[in-house]
Amino acid sequence: GKNAGYRVRVGSTNANSGGAVHNVQRHITHPNYVNSGGNLRSDIGIVRLASSIVFGGNVRAGSIAGANFNIADNTNVWALGWGLLSVSL
């Protein structure tokens, strides 16, 4: 892991205002992460914040679904993440 120098904004849908901003203390990339010509494998990591998130309003804890979790067809879901949508070399 390493000190990322990144910040995380919670409680807002706007990248530049609202909610609360937390500094990233450390991030850990999956040890089997591979980016081979845009083919990403094990593209997941863990972020540890330097301060605690206060839950309430627009900020709630999420959970990771188990291996046997099934979602019915046409169910609304939320997805989150960050990263590139395309690569420009």
* pLDDT value for 1: 53
pTM, 2 dp: 0.67
Lowest mean pLDDT among 3-7, 9-13, 16-20, 42-46: 3-7
Q: Could you please report the per-residue DSSP string of 10-51?
A: ES-SSSSSSSEEEEEEEEEE-TT-EEETTEEES--EEEEESS
Tens digit of each residue's pLDDT (9 = 90 or more) over 42-72: 888 889 999 999 999 999 988 888 899 999 9
> Is the residue at 27 inside a domain?
yes
* pLDDT value for 86: 63
* pLDDT value for 65: 85
Residue 43: give the domain boundaries. Answer: 7-49
> Is the residue at 60 inside a domain?
no
> Is the residue at 55 inside a domain?
no
> Is the residue at 67 inside a domain?
no
Total count of domains within the chain: 1
Residues 6+ apart with CB under 8 A from 52: none
